[in-house]
Amino acid sequence: HDGLTGMVPQSQGEQRFIEEMARLHRHKIAFSIIVFAIENLDEITEKAGHEVGHTVLQGFASQVQQQLRITDTCSRYSLNKIMVVLPHTNLNQTRQACARLSTVLNQNQFVDIKPYTEFCFTVSVGYVEAREDSELDQLLIAAEAKGEKFYEFSVC
């Protein structure tokens, strides 16, 4: 597990993607990917320090994982981004899952630290359904595309 977030490492998230692609090719079973990005993590780290940035990421990662199904795989794939692989989930089901996750995460006050008055962090959420010719890098880019963002919210 990732020492900071407790999620599976990036390599295991990538492996899960490969497994789901094999199911898609062989059995035509849909799956999707959700990307969560803490947009202003650098700003938080700059203003409040690395420890606070780590605390924000840990709290957020923990909340995301608590809201997922046992079959979903959640991994950190860059400094401020979390990738979730949702097996047996088409685009419409992913849209519904994103709506539920965004609502729960937006309402949850899981960061107890208020290191400065205007402390907030902004999260963007994007998603995409895999196709038989999909590559992970392409799916991540598609999920993160500004025009394709499903939801963006701030937690203060």
**Which 8-state DSSP code applies to residue 9?**
P
Predicted TM-score (pTM) of the model is 0.86
Which of 24-33, 111-120, 123-132 has maximum average pLDDT? 24-33
pLDDT at residue number 54: 83
Per-residue pLDDT tens digits for 5-27:
778 889 999 999 999 999 999 99
Per-residue pLDDT tens digits for 100-118:
887 777 776 555 556 566 7
Instruction: Quote the CA–CA distance of 78 and 100 in Å, as a whole number.
Output: 24
Helix (H) or strand (E) holding 78: strand 73-78
Per-residue pLDDT tens digits for 32-84:
999 998 888 888 888 888 888 888 888 888 888 888 999 999 998 888 899 99
Instruction: Quote the CA–CA distance of 18 and 31 in Å, as a whole number.
Output: 11
CB atoms within 10 A of CB 149: 15
